[in-house]
Structure 1
Amino acid sequence: MNPNEQTIKITSPQVDEYEDIVYSQIKESWNTRELKMSLLVPRTDNLKPAILYFPGGGFTTSNYHKFIQLRLALAKAGMVVASAQYRHIPDKFPCLIEDAKKALVYLKNNSANYHIDTNKIAVIGDSAGGYLAQLMGVTSNSTHFLPTETTAEISKVAAVVSLYGISDLSTIGGTKNPPVFHKGTSSPEALLIHGIGAQNSSLTINDSPEKAKKASPTSYVTNNLPPFLLLHGSADTLVSPEQSQHMYEALYKKNVDASYITVNGAGHGTAEWYQDSIINEIRDWLLLKLS
């Protein structure tokens, strides 16, 4: 017997990547903007759950190639994982949630190409992406922010995961001694709802409470929502842990299946979020909810 022979045990499927798929075209004044997504697809023929990931970026970027550790772990567990770009500042709300809905529509309309079980599509995001995932969850199977010529049913998602996400635009920095930055006219949340221009650039988030409310996930919490997993770092000074706590409390009051995990000592997008313990927690929760 050759002493160098090895037997390899297969524990996860091969994963194929489909890069930079155009899922939406936005007609602008003088051009057409393409919005893209990338997919990680386990090479199996069975119907698979899918995860739609929205990257964070302070409402100013949407780098859909980030968080590869988490995305690959989910794909190796047998889930199709899509990562979607979306419009951001200088574009105003509700552009980004309209894009998120279109990304979901693309997955459902092309489910046969990737062997996706359309009844088992979850959304996940970090920071501003967590905000989008929450907003997708609370408006699931509703007429809010629907793309044209679609029905509420196509906006339905099966589960929601938010990592240090935003639930209330008016209190991102918390209700007790929030950073001055969030109160200013140049804060991302202010620019998101007011836009950029001579008139709008002098407005803070609190100058239009109705606009802030309309753009906040907590405003749409009702019963019969999909299950939520909310994670936040105890040392997050950019997006207050109160954001996840208050969302959890709102969901709990409506008897929604919700879990809230505080990661002790973790900050905003710090190294803790890329460790196996966190990734495995998210993976196992999704496998349970999408089984």
Structure 2
Amino acid sequence: MIHDRIDIRTEGSEACVHLDTYILNITDIFRTQARPLIIVVPGGGYAHTSDREAEPIALTLNAMGYHAAVLRYSCAPARFPVQLIELAKSLRFLREQAASWKIRPDKIGVLGFSAGAHLAACLGCYYDTLWLREAVESKTSSMTSKAISLVSGTAQAAPAPDSYSLRPDCEILCYPVITAGEYAHRGSFDNLLGPERCEDRAWLDRMSIERQVKTDFPKTFLWHTMDDHSVPVQNSLLMAQALAAAGISCEYHLFEHGTHGLGLADWRTHSGVGDEVSEGAAIWPELLRTWLDRWAVED
């Protein structure tokens, strides 16, 4: 396994930001050489990134036969779009490493939990904006001025792509933060936008994923629980509705029981103090495996 820690920081990043890789050792004995890779984006309300939604998820993906990487992105007091630039840079870096690490560059997905799912979905919405591409490529430009273009209406589409794309090839959204509207997890948006922007309706609309889904959003695997009292289930319902309206392929699983922050929903990611075990929801990794195996062989 190639287990490495990559400095993925950009202007405004926290010192702790990095990308951990979990690249399978693919030798000549295997019929399948280059394999898909999934970038894991832990949750934490944009206040921290959860250990329970990081390495255990990467190792589970490895056991399914997929390469994985975990992004530890910037949280408060760092503000949007620093986190999105870090994720986009991570995806670009992994596509650049595709040949040497035997990664399929056309099969790199993102898997996010809670606020991390919001960040993953932001990439699916904004990957083709000129401001994001310029921010990923630039070492000196101001992130603040690039972000303002989102609200001012100058966030035009990027020019024709070159040898890489910032578009994820699939989205896996686990009990996701989606809306900044009636059913919002307010703490996430307070941390993401800061006091200057968290009450700005234009910014809240831009951060409401259900309002930003377009017809080129990646195909999506989505799951949630009815018992989630932190991030209301209406978040994933709104996302499923937006995907359906845009004609995007989506598999959506809604489980009856399970608190927020389940991780794998079994003993492997149980904190020892919470109620993060749900027998019903614990089947989600196997459901995901079936979905990923279909996705992996699609053109």
Q: TM-score, normalised by structure 2?
A: 0.76
Residue 190 of structure 2 corresponds to residue 190 of structure 1: yes
Tell me the CA shift for residue 266 of structure 1: 1.2
CA contact (8 A) 1:236 1:266 kept: yes
Correspondence for 2:137: 149
Closer, same or farther: CA 172–192 of 1 in aligned 2, 3 Å: farther
Distance 1:242 1:173 in 2: 9
Distance 2:128 2:121 in 1: 13
1:166-215 per-position Cα deviation (integer Å, ceiling 9, x unaligned): 111233448xxxxxxx4xxxx341232134xxxx4xx8x4x311111122
Alignment partner of 2:231 out of 239, 248, 254: 239
Closer, same or farther: CA 272–75 of 1 in aligned 2, 3 Å: closer
Tell me the CA shift for residue 122 of structure 1: 0.7
CA contact (8 A) 1:141 1:155 kept: yes
Correspondence for 1:42: 24
Residue 200 of structure 2 corresponds to residue 208 of structure 1: yes
Give 1:38's aligned amino acid. D
Within a 5 Å distance, the mapping from 1:77-88 to structure 2 comes to 77-88=64-75
Give 1:20's aligned amino acid. R
CA contact (8 A) 1:234 1:266 kept: yes
Tell me the CA shift for residue 246 of structure 1: 0.4
Correspondence for 1:131: 118
Closer, same or farther: CA 144–282 of 1 in aligned 2, 3 Å: farther
Alignment partner of 1:52 out of 39, 61, 68: 39
CA contact (8 A) 2:77 2:194 kept: no
Closer, same or farther: CA 219–80 of 1 in aligned 2, 3 Å: same
Give 1:224's aligned amino acid. D
Alignment partner of 1:267 out of 242, 253, 259: 259
Aligned CA-pair RMSD: 2.5
Aligned sequence identity (%): 20
Closer, same or farther: CA 263–102 of 1 in aligned 2, 3 Å: same
CA contact (8 A) 1:229 1:258 kept: yes
Correspondence for 1:62: 49
Distance 1:215 1:266 in 2: 26
Correspondence for 1:112: 99
Distance 1:80 1:278 in 2: 19
Correspondence for 1:281: 287
Structure 2: runs of 5+ lacking an equivalent = 28-32, 139-157, 267-278
Correspondence for 1:95: 82
Give 1:233's aligned amino acid. T
Distance 1:149 1:134 in 2: 21
1:9-49 per-position Cα deviation (integer Å, ceiling 9, x unaligned): xxxxxxx2514222x23346xx9846311111221141110
Larger proportion of strand: 1
Tell me the CA shift for residue 113 of structure 1: 2.8
Q: TM-score, normalised by structure 1?
A: 0.78
Q: How many residues align?
A: 254
Tell me the CA shift for residue 144 of structure 1: 5.9
Distance 2:226 2:204 in 1: 25
CA contact (8 A) 1:17 1:38 kept: no
Correspondence for 1:18: 3
CA contact (8 A) 1:135 1:216 kept: no
Within a 5 Å distance, the mapping from 1:156-175 to structure 2 comes to 156-173=167-184
Correspondence for 1:5: none
Structure 1: runs of 5+ lacking an equivalent = 1-15, 175-181
